Chain A
Amino acid sequence: GAGVSQSPSNKVTEKGKDVELRCDPISGHTALYWYRQRLGQGLEFLIYFQGNSAPDKSGLPSDRFSAERTGESVSTLTIQRTQQEDSAVYLCASSLVGGGLAGAYSGANVLTFGAGSRLTVL
Chain B
Amino acid sequence: KQEVTQIPAALSVPEGENLVLNCSFTDSAIYNLQWFRQDPGKGLTSLLLIQSSQREQTSGRLNASLDKSSGRSTLYIAASQPGDSATYLCAVRAGNNRKLIWGLGTSLAVNP
Convert A1-13 into 0s and 1s, putting 1 for each residue whose CB lies closer than 8 angstroms to a CB of B: 0001010000000
The answer, yes or no, to whether B31 is at the interface (CB within 8 Å) is: yes
Convert A86-120 into 0s and 1s, putting 1 for each residue whose CB lies closer than 8 angstroms to a CB of B: 00000101000011100000110111111110000
Chain B residues touching A, majority SS: strand
Interface centre among B43, B45, B102, B104 (most CB of A within 10 A): B43
The answer, yes or no, to whether B97 is at the interface (CB within 8 Å) is: yes
Convert B93-112 into 0s and 1s, putting 1 for each residue whose CB lies closer than 8 angstroms to a CB of A: 10111111011110000000
> Contact at B41–A115, with CB atoms within 8 Å?
yes
Convert B70-112 into 0s and 1s, putting 1 for each residue whose CB lies closer than 8 angstroms to a CB of A: 0000000000000000000101010111111011110000000
The answer, yes or no, to whether A122 is at the interface (CB within 8 Å) is: no
Residue of B nearest to A43 (CB): B102
